[in-house]
Amino acid sequence: MNSQSLITYKLKYNASDESNDFILKCMKQYSSLLHYGYNRVVDGWSTKQIKDAMKTQLNNVELMDSHIVSCAQQQATGIHEQKTKINSEYKIIFGGKKNYSRRCKGLISKEEYQLKRISPLLSMGEANQKANRKFKINQDLHSITFQINRNNHYTLELKGIYGKREKTLSKLYELQEKKEIPITYSIDRDYIYVSFDESKVEQYERKRFVENRVMAIDMNPNYIGWSIVDWNGEGENDFRIVKTGVFSIEKINKLDEQLRKYSCTDSTDSRKIYLTNKRTHETYQISKKLIDTCLYYQCESFCIEDLNIKHKDDERGKKYNRLVNNCWCRNKLEFNLQKRCNMFDIKFIKVKPDFSSFVGNFLFRSLNLPDMVLASIEIGRRGYEFNLQYIEKIKEIKRNIIFPDLGAYKNFYIKSLEEFNIEDGIDLKNIYYELKKSKTRYRLSLDETHTEFSRCFSKTSLILKCYNTF
């Protein structure tokens, strides 16, 4: 970390009584390491000797692992080096000379003095450990998680987070998630100190999104198809597919259906509660993964359909209606995606959903991608056009961007006409109604595109994924 660009935020926090007691316990154990380590540095011990002694010769430091031991050793060495630079005769007194003097005069009790001698716990930053092993900035930007080990983790609610600080924490959160910055933390009973290289944040702020690179998704109860496309005009030679993929939610939905078959419809049933919580958790995981991917590929905008689902669809049947209305976390996904886009200054664009699946599957079917991915490409095209025409206002406004200019996608269009044995001269809307009337299947299935799924997120995750479908 470049000391010249190092900056530290002193943040007030609130925590539960249990959390405060645990933090104090950690600080006491850390202080034992630090004070012991400093005295050994003064005695001329080597780094290895100090670390080994900290691990074997000290009692009541069971919460302090190798990382914290290393932090205490480095801090002890740094204190000694700083003291030597200033005045080699200067004596370090933990707790301060003033408090030491007051204790000697009997002005404060032994217990009070011992509390003042407690040092803040320090955890040094590591980029490859998502910035820090023990502390993490949370997505809401108004809290930090302190996790000393797997069994003990506490949420610290931050105070006074707004304006520039909130914006900086937003950047730090992204860099943390991308493992691109080390963040050093220290904590006492009232404040948490967040230290980072400001130049890294400034560097991030100067980053530019790839112009006209759009990420779009097609949302369905069982699958979410996504695509990242570079759009540089309206035409088959003016777009380039960067990446595509699919998330499968079908496994969760099948489990829900199984519970229903066993007459488990009571919302208070433990199995039902577990599945509901699992579905919500997985939904947020999908949202996080989508935006992380969007950020990684530096997409300028993120596009979704502006859906208005009817509560009842007699044509689809009871099973479909139950899936859409009772199982699908569409609103949660949409709200979380929008929140994350706002957090990272990504344009969040909602487009009309009319005929998007048909246009995507019919016009772009020669790409041999699954139904939901082809639909996402069409949604991305609409988002691109909407952005340039109505937001940026650098293109002539067209009344209808739902249907593309078929002349611009002539080769794609002709291939599809040949496949369905349709004569040229019919517009897409009429082709849709003709295919629907004849009950001709136009959607490209996962089987037809030989899409293979693998486990996503964790061993316990019920979400499956596939990438590189193009």
DSSP 38-56: HHHHHTT--HHHHHHHHHH
The strands making up 191-197's β-sheet, listed across from edge to edge, are: 121-123, 184-187, 191-197, 6-14, 153-158, 143-147, 135-137
Residue pair 293/243 in contact (Cβ under 8 Å)? The answer is yes
Q: Last residue of a domain, which of 204, 239, 272?
A: 204
> 24 near 16, Cβ under 8 Å?
no
- Give the range of the structural domain holding residue 95, as residue numbers without chain letter: 3-204
Question: Where is the domain boundary, 204, 227, 259?
Answer: 204
Rounded Cα gap, residues 259 and 398, in angstroms: 49
How far apart are alpha carbons 252 and 256 in whole angstroms? Answer: 6
Structure tokens at 65: 């692992």
Strands (E) located in 138-287: 143-147, 153-158, 184-187, 191-197, 210-219, 223-231, 239-248
Q: Does residue 123 share a domain with residue 227?
A: no
Q: Rounded to whole angstroms, what are the CA distances from 312 to 320, 321, 324, 358?
A: 9, 6, 9, 22
Task: Look up the CATH number of the domain holding residue 274.
Answer: 3.30.420.140
- 216 and 308 together in one domain: yes
User: Residue 325 and residue 264: Cα distance in Å, rounded?
Assistant: 18
Name the residue with tokens 């200067």.
90
Per-residue tens of pLDDT for the chain, all 470 residues = 445 578 999 999 999 999 999 999 999 999 999 999 999 999 999 999 999 999 999 999 999 999 999 999 999 999 998 888 777 667 788 887 888 888 888 888 888 888 889 999 999 999 999 999 999 999 889 999 999 998 899 999 999 898 888 889 999 998 999 899 999 999 999 999 999 998 888 776 656 789 999 999 999 889 999 999 999 988 888 899 999 999 999 888 888 888 777 666 666 777 778 888 888 889 999 999 999 899 889 999 999 999 876 555 545 556 656 666 656 778 889 988 988 888 788 999 999 999 999 999 999 999 999 999 999 999 999 999 999 999 888 888 887 789 998 888 999 999 999 999 998 878 899 999 999 999 999 998 888 888 888 888 888 888 888 876 55
Residue 217 sits in the same domain as residue 170 = no
Six-digit token pair at 293? Answer: 């991917």
Among 180, 204, 228, the domain boundary falls at 204
Q: C-alpha angle 467/442/451, rounded to 5°?
A: 20
The gap from C-alpha 154 to its chain's centroid, in whole angstroms, comes to: 20
Task: Indicate if 214 and 261 belong to the same structural domain.
Answer: yes
Judgement on whether residues 341 and 271 belong to the same structural domain of the protein? yes
Q: What per-residue confidence (pLDDT) applies to 431? A: 92
Q: Are residues 149 and 218 in the same domain?
A: no
Do 252 and 341 meet the contact criterion of CB atoms below 8 Å apart? no
Phi (first) and psi of residue 12, to 5 degrees: -70, 140
H-run or E-run covering 348: strand 347-351
Q: Does residue 391 share a domain with residue 314?
A: yes
What domain count does the chain have? Answer: 2
Gap between the Cα atoms of 114 and 172, Å rounded? 35
175/247 same-domain check: no
Q: Sign of the CA dihedral 361, 367, 373, 376?
A: negative
